[in-house]
Amino acid sequence: MRILLLGASGQLGSDIARLWHGKPGLELQLATRAHADVTDLAAVRSLVQSARPGIVINTTAFHDLPRCEADPRTAMTVNVVGGWNVAAAAREAGAAVVQFSTDYVFDGEKRTPYFEDDARRALNVYGAAKIAAEDAVRIANPDHLIVRVSGLYGLAGSAGKGGNFVETMLRLAREGQPIRVVADQVTAPTNTAEIAEALLPILRDGLRGTIHLAAAGETSWYTFARTIFDLRRLTPDCTPTTTAEFGGPVRRPLYSVLGSARVPRLRHWRDGLERYLREKHGALS
């Protein structure tokens, strides 16, 4: 199985590259923006045709939420046009495409886990862009797998966000700053390593359509932060707040937990967090 991975230096892409390296029967080719900008169809087409993959995985995205609100044109161009270009180039080369999407395609009104066929309704520019990207990919390449994920954090961190939530919490705790975290936004934060390991057998099985790959369980961002501190035996001044009190330019769903009717959910979010902390910071106390 020959796979071309776009966004190989990103948070999710780097874990796919790291954990799939040397797997039997797998030829993994890595590409970053230096190889091709996904908004440039000619460059993407040339890259895919030269790689001759059976599957193209697109982990690229413009996902800094405040920047998406301030610059919707770029958010739409990178996410939607980029998704279309990758899917179309893959189709032209006779390859399937894997496109990553987000829990933010949902509005959070349901209050129970969202499944693959639940109605989508975004509350912000990023979510709207990902809805459009999903539809663009479906149209551009019928041989597709759309993978919705939630609350990602990984060893490489997110370049667009300056790290990840776990590292931000640890940094604030080390600096001794008072920390306020929203307690009314509920999701299932997911270690990108867990996604990478679950995705490969799904691709080997040839599954197509739309799936959700997210950690089991659910938690507020405040409880997630408290768990981070507890596992690292830190006692910062951390207090809960509400989304309304916290403010900010971006509307976010208050409930965005992903369930799945098609694939097993990943391990519990706490298991994924413990793994991350061990791999990034050493043994837990």
**How far is it, in rounded angstroms, from Cα 113 to Cα 116?**
10
150-178 in b/e form (b: 16+ CB < 10 A) is: bbbbbbbbbeebeebbbbbbbebbeeeee
Assess whether 126 carries a catalytic annotation. Answer: yes
Q: Name the pairing type of β-strands 144-149 and 152-153.
A: unpaired
Question: What domains are there in the chain, each with its CATH number?
Answer: 2-281 (3.40.50.720)
Q: What percent of the chain is helix, strand and coil (3-state, nearest 5)?
A: 45, 20, 35
Encode the chain (285 residues) as per-residue pLDDT tens digits. Answer: 999 999 999 999 999 999 999 999 999 999 999 999 999 999 999 999 999 999 999 999 999 999 999 999 999 999 999 999 999 999 999 999 999 999 999 999 999 999 999 999 999 999 999 999 999 999 999 999 999 999 999 998 766 556 899 999 999 999 998 999 999 999 999 999 999 999 999 999 999 999 999 999 999 999 999 999 999 999 999 999 999 998 888 999 999 999 999 999 999 999 999 999 999 998 786
Length of the chain: 285
Q: Out of 104, 126, 255, 276, which one is annotated catalytic? A: 126
pTM exceeds cut of 0.85 = yes
Q: Which tokens is 81 given?
A: 């046009």
- How far apart CA 218 and CA 264 sit, in angstroms, is 15
> 3-class secondary structure for 3-41?
EEEECCCCHHHHHHHHHHCCCCCCEEEEECCCCCCCCCH
